[in-house]
Structure formats: structure tokens, C-alpha cells
């Protein structure tokens, strides 16, 4: 928004009008008096009593490219530089259930993440990384049960007991039908698989977050902050209902639910968004679902700075953008944070740019002073007004989704996509018309720019992956492999939880593509809907 007229109308990215000044005259005083304390219901001020005075957020850098070997080297480098958790990016073939030698994988192997086709690849990815001492987040959805099974199998080979396996599978298939498109199966069997993971983890992996219900991709597709929280919570309610229908009790699995949000450039709105989300989720899980365990009511979330805010023009400016977004996430009380690298609008990040991104978090955590007190922004008239307003608007959206029959039905009718597309169009129009300034893009443009060094994927990666798969298929136990896939197919035609069967398959060195194809034969493939 251009700031040139004192009397102009200024709005947040969600369209919330900002008054010239906030004071007791235009703030609900009773709300300020009811703020409460961090670590107490409804957790507006944070889910832990001491927040970052007790422990800083987990610093993760999303990484994965080229091959398991190269990605392993990057992970070890980042851990040596002070990163405190891993975050794995998988390539598109892995995300959509194809092996690296499949015709559909041609030209995409290792491009936007690491290619993982088998337990052998997964072993290489975590070679020398003790899984009882590191928490791993895996951005994977349609093939989440397979990648979790691969991770469990690697942990078993390392001698790590289930109780010490810590991390997260994204496993949020509903948002794939909204924003990303890396689904494989129709919605019903996809939901079955997502709940299989939730149920399996509730019974076997107490330290694992079986799902990370994701507003990040919804926001990156053009949603506002309000829509990001509203549609994420609508999806979350759908997963909770499906898990309850499976026979789980709310307090059996709700403490393991996690969320994934973006931190965008509207600094104050983002801080308020996180506060509103915590308070709203605490009330939903207690009032709507009758949870009694305070851990069930805690909104635990990972944050990533906004990829869509990065510009190819004057890319060094992205360092500043990322720092502002990361600071908003910290002041908003995130439990885990990834900071984007400044060159990601152009290519995969280099080691140097990834280090700058990590250092951004460390400077905020160790030098800025914002972690000296538990909640530095509480009582800000403006922040509290925005928090209140965001919660009200999110509730309105949730009521509309419920009237439509829930998240899955709202997605199928095209309602969610239409709302997001409208917001995306409004924002882009404001940029194109010069009503919102993007530095280096529509204002303060330079004729000639210095381009950073670009990291290019090795074109030989796919050939190496194909050779590894040929060798693996030649030496694995064919009888054990065949029996495991046959058992999986039979189970898929019934009602069993498929996680134990998938685990047997990966331990028999069945590949991601072979397991996915087995399920394709039973479930079919989803080709999209005209309503989307």
C-alpha cells in the first residue's frame, strides 16, 4: 500500500481497515483485561508458560535436491551450522507416487526436492544422522504413509525405538485438492490413508505429528490471512471428524495434530493471525469436540516465510523480506520456523544463501532481544484489534463451510477455490495498478541488476537413480517383495489400517512407485473436477 496521504484508507492484506491510531477509545478494554497468561487456555499469548525464555523455536531449513547423497551432505552442513531440525523436500515423482525410472518422472528427478524410490534411498538420505537425536519434518502428502514407513524402517535399522522417533509428516491431502495438486487417489481413499497415519501414530509413535494441516499452500495460492486460517481449520475439522469416526477419542490423537502456516509481509497482521488462530483452535477443540486434555487444545505450528513474496527482481531485497516475515512468526509464537533463501525465486538455494537464511533465524533468536520477554506484543491496541477482527472473520468463514456440508464438500463444489482466486486477483490487480508497492517490481525499479549465482541440478541424476533401481530390483528377495505387495492390495480392498502393510512392503524393498501402483489398482486415480 502506498503511504502518501495521511487521510487515505489503509488496509491489511486481508482487507481489514487500519485506523490512524489505536487507544482505549477504540479497543475492547475487557479483552485486554482477559488476555490471561502464556501456557493457559485459550493460549492467545503462546502455548508454553515460558515460551522462548525456556527454549527457542526449532530452526529448520527446508532442503532436498539432486540425490539422497547430496541432500544428506546439505543436511549435515546445516546441522553443523546450528540448525536444530531437518525439513525434507521431495521431488515431484516421489510426491506423486512414481519411481525415478518411470516415464512420468522424466525430467523431474531431483529438480524440486530429493528423489526417494526405496528404503535404500532413505537409508542414504539419513546416513550418519542419528534419528533418536533429530526431529525430521517431511513435506509429503499423497505418499505420506509410504515415506513415514520408510523413515520408521530406517530408524529400526539404527536401533531407534518408536518412542524416540520425532518429527512430522505433512499428510494434508485436502489442501492438495485446493492449492497444490499433488494428489493421486480420489478424496475418499485419500482421507482413509490420512486417517490411517493419524491412527497408527496415536497407537505407535507418541513423538510423531501424523499430520501438519497446512495453510501455507492455501496462502501461497492467493488466500488472505483470514482465509488461510479459516480453510485450514475447516480441513482440520474434517480430519478430526474422520478420526473420531474411526473410533479414536479426541484426546487420544489431538495432542499430536500440528499445523503449518505462512508468515507474509503484513507484519502486524501476521502476528495477530497467529494469536487469533491459537485462541480459536483452543475453543474449537474444547467446545466442538469436548476435549479435556489441555495438550489437545494447544495449536502447535511450524511457520515458513512466504515464497510468493520473493522477487526475481533485485533478489537481495528478499533477505530483508524474509527477516521481517521471520520476526513476525517469532513474535506470533511459532514452535518451528523455516526461512526462505533469497535466491529461491530464481532456482534452488545455494549453500551460501541457505546459510544466510539460517543466520537470519539465529540473529533474531540470539541478538534481537525479542526473546527476552515471553510475549513482547501483548496489549498493543493495534495487535489486539487485529486479533479480534481476524477471529471474527474466520468464524464467519467456518460457519459458511459448515453450511455447505464441511470442508470436503466445500472443496468439491469449488467454493474454496473461488474464494482464493478472487483474493489472488484483487491482490495482483492492486500491484498492477500501483495501489500496493512491491519494491523493485512496480516501484524503485533498476534498469540493470546483478544476478546471484544459480545452482543448477545435475542432469546425470536421473540416470544414476535408474541404475540404482535396476540393481535394487535384481538383488531384493522377490518372494518377500511379491507377498508384501499382495497383502497390501488385499488389505486395501478391506478396511484394515494400511500402515503396517506399507511398512512390510518398504522393508521388503518395494519401491514408492510399486506401492502407489498397487493402491492405484484398488482406489483408482483422481483426475480433477470441473468445479476446481
Indicate whether 365 pLDDT > 50.
Answer: yes
Contact 280, 394 (CB under 8 A): yes
Q: Is the pLDDT of residue 91 over 50?
A: yes
Give CA–CA dist 352/369, Å, rounded: 26
Tell which residue, 74, 205, 191, 87, has the closest CA to residue 141: 191
Average confidence (pLDDT) over 121-144: 96
pTM over 0.85: yes
Alpha-carbon distance of 23 to 519, in angstroms, equals 59
pLDDT, tens only, 433-459: 999 999 999 999 998 766 666 666 667
Tell me: pLDDT of 235 over 70. yes
φ, ψ for residue 165, nearest 5 deg: -80, 120
Residue 116 burial (CB < 10 Å; 0-12/13-18/19+)?
A: buried
pLDDT at 119: 98
- For residue 3, is pLDDT > 60? no
Quick: pLDDT tens for 403-427: 999 999 999 899 999 999 999 999 9
Q: DSSP letter string over 156-205?
A: HHTT--GGG--EEE----HHIIIII----S-HHHHHHHHHHHHHHHHHH-
Quick one: pLDDT band at residue 356, thresholds 50, 70, 90?
very high
pLDDT at 348: 80
Give the pLDDT confidence score for residue 530 in this predicted structure.
41
Mean pLDDT on 482-487? 98
pLDDT at 455: 64
Yes or no: domain 55-432 corresponds to CATH 3.30.70.20: no
Domain ranges of the chain: 55-432
Query: Is the predicted pLDDT of residue 523 greater than 80, yes or no?
Result: yes
CB 481, CB 509: distance < 8 Å:
yes
Angle at Cα 249 formed by Cα 244 and Cα 250, nearest 5°?
85
User: Stretch 104-131: mean pLDDT, rounded?
Assistant: 94
What mean pLDDT do residues 28-54 have?
86
The reported pLDDT for the residue numbered 83 is 86
**pLDDT at position 350:** 87
Amino acid at each position: 500500500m502506498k503511504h502518501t496521504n495521511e487521510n487515505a484508507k489503509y488496509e491489511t492484506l486481508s482487507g481489514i481497515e487500519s485506523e490512524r491510531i489505536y487507544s482505549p477509545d477504540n479497543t475492547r478494554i475487557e479483552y485486554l483485561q482477559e488476555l490471561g497468561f502464556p501456557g493457559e487456555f485459550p493460549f492467545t499469548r503462546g502455548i508454553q508458560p515460558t515460551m522462548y525464555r525456556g527454549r527457542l523455536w526449532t530452526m529448520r531449513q527446508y532442503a532436498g535436491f539432486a540425490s539422497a547423497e547430496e541432500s544428506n551432505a546439505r543436511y549435515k552442513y546445516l546441522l553443523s551450522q546450528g540448525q536444530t531440525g531437518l525439513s525434507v523436500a521431495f521431488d515431484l515423482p516421489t510426491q506423486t507416487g512414481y519411481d525415478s525410472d518411470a516415464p512420468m518422472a522424466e525430467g523431474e528427478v531431483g529438480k524440486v526436492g530429493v528423489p526417494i524410490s526405496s528404503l535404500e534411498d532413505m537409508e542414504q538420505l539419513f546416513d550418519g544422522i542419528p534419528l533418536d537425536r533429530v526431529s525430521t519434518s517431511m513435506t509429503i502428502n499423497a505418499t505420506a504413509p509410504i515415506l513415514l514407513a520408510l523413515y520408521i524402517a530406517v530408524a529400526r535399522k539404527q536401533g531407534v525405538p518408536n518412542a524416540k522417533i520425532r518429527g512430522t509428516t505433512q499428510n494434508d491431502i485436502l489442501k492438495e485438492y485446493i492449492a497444490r495438486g499433488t494428489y493421486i487417489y480420489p478424496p475418499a481413499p485419500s482421507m482413509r490413508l490420512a486417517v490411517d497415519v493419524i491412527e497408527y501414530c496415536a497407537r505407535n509413535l507418541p513423538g510423531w505429528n501424523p499430520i501438519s494441516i497446512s495453510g501455507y499452500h492455501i496462502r501461497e495460492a492467493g488466500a488472505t490471512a483470514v482465509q488461510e486460517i479459516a480453510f485450514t481449520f475447516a480441513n482440520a475439522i474434517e480430519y478430526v471428524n474422520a478420526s473420531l469416526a474411526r473410533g479414536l477419542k479426541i484426546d487420544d490423537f489431538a495432542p499430536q495434530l500440528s499445523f503449518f502456516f505462512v508468515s507474509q509481509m503484513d507484519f502486524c497482521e501476521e502476528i495477530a493471525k497467529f494469536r487469533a488462530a491459537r485462541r480459536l483452535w483452543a475453543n474449537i477443540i474444547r467446545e466442538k469436540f469436548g476435549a479435556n486434555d489441555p495438550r489437545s487444545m494447544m495449536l502447535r505450528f511450524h511457520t515458513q516465510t512466504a515464497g510468493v513474496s520473493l522477487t526475481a527482481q533485485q533478489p537481495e531485497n528478499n533477505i530483508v523480506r524474509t527477516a521481517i516475515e521471520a520476526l513476525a512468526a517469532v513474535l506470533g509464537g511459532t514452535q518451528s520456523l523455516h526461512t526462505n533463501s533469497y535466491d529461491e525465486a530464481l532456482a534452488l538455494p545455494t549453500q551460501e544463501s541457505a546459510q544466510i537464511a539460517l543466520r537470519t533465524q539465529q540473529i533474531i533468536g540470539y541478538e534481537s532481544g525479542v526473546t527476552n520477554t515471553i510475549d513482547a506484543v501483548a496489549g498493543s491496541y493495534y495487535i489486539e484489534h487485529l486479533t479480534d477482527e481476524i477471529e471474527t472473520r474466520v468464524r464467519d468463514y467456518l460457519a459458511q463451510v459448515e453450511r455447505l456440508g464441511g470442508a470436503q464438500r466445500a472443496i468439491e463444489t469449488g467454493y474454496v477455490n473461488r474464494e482464493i482466486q478472487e483474493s489472488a486477483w484483487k491482490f495482483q490487480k492492486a500491484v498492477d495498478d500501483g495501489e500496493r508497492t512491491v519494491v523493485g517490481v512496480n516501484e524503485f525499479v533498476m534498469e540493470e541488476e546483478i544476478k546471484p549465482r544459480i545452482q543448477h541440478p545435475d542432469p546425470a541424476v536421473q540416470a544414476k537413480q535408474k541404475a540404482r533401481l535396476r540393481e535394487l530390483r535384481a538383488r531384493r528377495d522377490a518372494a518377500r517383495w511379491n507377498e508384501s505387495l499382495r497383502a497390501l492390495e488385499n488389505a486395501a480392498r478391506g478396511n484394515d489400517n494400511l500402515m503396517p502393510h506399507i511398512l512390510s512392503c518398504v522393508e521388503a524393498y518395494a519401491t514408492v512407485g510399486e506401492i502407489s501402483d498397487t493402491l492405484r489398482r484398488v482406489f483408482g486415480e483422481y483426475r480433477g473436477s470441473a468445479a476446481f
